[in-house]
Amino acid sequence: MMTIGKAKLGLYWACSCGGCDIATLNIHEKILEVDAAFEIVFWPVAMDAKVKDVEAMPDGSIDLMLFNGGIRTTENEEMAHLLRRKSKILVAFGSCASEGCIPGLANLSPVSSIFDVSYSATPTTENPQNIRPTITWQAPEGELHLPGLFPVLRTLDQVVPVDYYIPGCPPESEEIAAVIEQVTQVLDGKASLPPKGSTLGAGKSTVCDECKRTKNVKEIHQFVRIQSLERIDPELCLLEQGLPCNGPATRSGCGALCPQVSAQCIGCHGPAEGVIDYGARLMSAFASVIASNDPKEIGQILDGIPDPAGQFYRFNLAKSLLRSGRQAWEGLEEGK
Amino acid sequence: MSDPLDGKTFEPVIIGFTCNWCSYRAADMAGMARMKYPPNIRLVRVMCSGRLDPTFIFKAFASGADGVMVTGCHPGDCHYIEQNYKLMRRFILMQRTLEQMGIEPGRLKLTWASAAEGAKFSEEVTNMVEEVRRLGPLNWPSAETMDEWMAKEPSIETEERP
């Protein structure tokens, strides 16, 4: 890839929390290398920019576009199409863009109930007039428009073609730095780009592979919440201690940070290489090591996981095979 | 959606997984003995019910199946000693997860059948087809269908401000 002058870099956030942008700044002095190698042309979090500036750029003029956040609103979708057109390499950056992440869990509820929670139901909400957002509003100065909400959240690659993925909620700063390093080498002609669709920066194996805890043949007699354990063995596998640790299906590369400090893996690093449905893989792993052959007892042991969808699809629902709960789309086929 | 009880026209699609050593032989026996069961089930043979990755089941529902039947050797009879217990445990977990996603427990069924139980197999299939017929079509949207809905449905919740 040859570029005259500095290569152009863009960063954008769609339906996300902003943590991915913070993680990018967390690469510390490496940011100087970013500045040396790239001209940052669009980064709403860190610098002033207008969408019309991006619209004015020639198509394909942004060399590297790091896009974080899922597609929940019409604005998200518009920006995804615009930035795809303007970018040579579009990267789904972080868990939201790659697999939906926490905002994707809202795919278990219809929009009406999301609005009920946000604008009425929570105890801290005071909204006596029951004011709800509208997409158009007639103000004295003219008609105002707000983006509309889609019935479900989609991942970036469910809306536009994506070249690469960087997993993590947020991606580890070392991983971001490694990707920056890799891309600068490509720009210098010292390396070539990996095949399209690859996951950059992270490992291919599982968190268990990186976790230093002792692992034995697993026999689970109960699943417990971490608060209810009096003492956590600092050496023994957390799953063996009854903590629902998502390590067996989660991609390596984070350094097994959470299990190292006795907190179970929650799966923020996405599915390991080759896993089609993260939750299904994890269900398989958890269920097969339950130490009972009696359906009733198995049921009781599994009562220790009161919210299976949340446990197995916490970060992955929008990218799973089913993509959403039936509640989110029921009625749409009738053209409601 | 049509009235789920008006089952006269709705023919459910059921994907059935059978294990090589018992339940497939049961299906085979049902066939050889000319026992009748509805043609709504499409059988997929795997070596063992423990081989059944939950991904298969989720994929079946996502690809348009109205129901999935998983079968294996009776507990204690597994050709690979104890793998059918793994299916038993996964089944309970899958059923709970699917229910949260709006897929009724009746759409996923577990049946044990030995190689001699052709009659039981055909009966279980018949029962399941009737049960899913009652539940109605699942019609899980494909990626393309979902995209169409999204294009049609740029925004909902346009309630007026008071």
Whether residue A277 and residue B139 make contact (CB cut-off 8 A), yes or no, is no
pLDDT of residue A135: 86
Give the confidence band of A188 by pLDDT, cuts at 50, 70, 90. Answer: confident
A196-246 per-position pLDDT tens digit: 999 998 999 999 999 999 999 999 999 999 999 999 999 999 999 999 999
CA distance B99 to A271: 23
pLDDT of residue B159: 47
The dihedral through the CA atoms of B68, A250, A210, A223 has a sign that is negative
Asked whether residue A1 carries a pLDDT value surpassing 80, the answer given is no
CB nearest B102 (choices: A134, A158, A325)? A325
Asked whether residue B59 carries a pLDDT value surpassing 60, the answer given is yes
In total, the C-beta contacts within 8 angstroms joining chain A to chain B are 145
Residues of chain A with Cβ-Cβ distance to B65 below 8 Å are: none
Residues of chain A with Cβ-Cβ distance to B156 below 8 Å are: 111-112, 148-149, 151, 336
Residue A250: closest CA among A302, A311, A192 = A311
How near does any CA of chain A get to the CA of B86, in Å? 5
Whether residue B156 and residue A327 make contact (CB cut-off 8 A), yes or no, is no
Contact A150, B150 (CB under 8 A): yes
Phi, psi of A30 (to 5 degrees): -60, -25
Give the confidence band of A33 by pLDDT, cuts at 50, 70, 90. Answer: confident
Asked whether residue B162 carries a pLDDT value surpassing 80, the answer given is no
How near does any CA of chain B get to the CA of A157, in Å? 11
CA distance A323 to A300: 28
Indicate the residue type of A261. Answer: V
B62-72 per-position pLDDT tens digit: 999 999 999 99
Q: What mean pLDDT, rounded, does chain A reach?
A: 92
- More confident site: B50 or B4: B50
pLDDT of residue B160: 44
To the nearest whole percent, how much of chain A has pLDDT over 70? 98
pLDDT of residue B123: 97
Residues of chain A with Cβ-Cβ distance to B140 below 8 Å are: 322, 326
Left, alpha or beta for A236 (phi > 0: left; psi -120 to 50: alpha)? beta
Residue A155: closest CA among A78, A82, A76 = A76
Residue A237: closest CA among A205, A254, A260 = A260
pLDDT of residue A181: 85
Give the confidence band of B154 by pLDDT, cuts at 50, 70, 90. Answer: low
pLDDT of residue B151: 82
pLDDT of residue A4: 62
Class (C level, CATH) for A7-103+151-187: alpha beta
Give the confidence band of B155 by pLDDT, cuts at 50, 70, 90. Answer: low
Contact B14, B131 (CB under 8 A): no
Indicate the residue type of B27. Answer: A
Whether residue B58 and residue A154 make contact (CB cut-off 8 A), yes or no, is no
Q: What stretch of H or E contains B88?
A: helix B83-100
Mean pLDDT of all residues in A133-156: 91
Report residue B119 CA to chain centroid gap. 20
Residues of chain B numbered 30-49 and touching chain A (CB < 8 Å):
none
* Per-domain boundaries in chain B: 14-152
Asked whether residue B150 carries a pLDDT value surpassing 90, the answer given is no
Whether residue A293 and residue B88 make contact (CB cut-off 8 A), yes or no, is yes
Candidates A74, A118, A319, A329: best to mutate against B (most CBs of B within 10 A) is: A329
- Range from A13-22, B5-14, B142-151 carrying the lowest mean pLDDT: B5-14
Q: Interhelix angle for A30-37 vs A173-187, to 10°?
A: 30
Give the confidence band of B116 by pLDDT, cuts at 50, 70, 90. Answer: very high
Residues of chain B with Cβ-Cβ distance to A323 below 8 Å are: 62, 143, 146
* Per-domain boundaries in chain A: 7-103+151-187, 112-150, 207-305
CA distance A167 to A180: 15
A146-175 per-position pLDDT tens digit: 898 899 999 999 999 999 999 999 999 889
> Who contacts A316 (Cβ-Cβ below 8 Å, separation ≥6)?
A99, A100, A104, A267, A270, A271, A278, A279
Mean pLDDT of all residues in A77-91: 96
What residues pair up with A210 in beta bridges, in sequence order? Answer: none
Residues of chain A with Cβ-Cβ distance to B82 below 8 Å are: 293
Mean pLDDT of all residues in B81-109: 96
pLDDT of residue A335: 53
Q: Which of these CATH numbers, 1.10.3470, 3.40.50, 1.10.10, 1.10.287, describes B14-152?
A: 3.40.50
pLDDT of residue B45: 97
Question: What is the secondary structure of A89-131 as a DSSP string?
Answer: EEEEEHHHHHH-HHHHGGGGS-HHHHHHIIIIISTT---TT--
Instruction: Given the cut 0.90, state whether the ipTM is greater than it.
Output: yes
pLDDT of residue B103: 97
- The structure's pTM equals 0.92
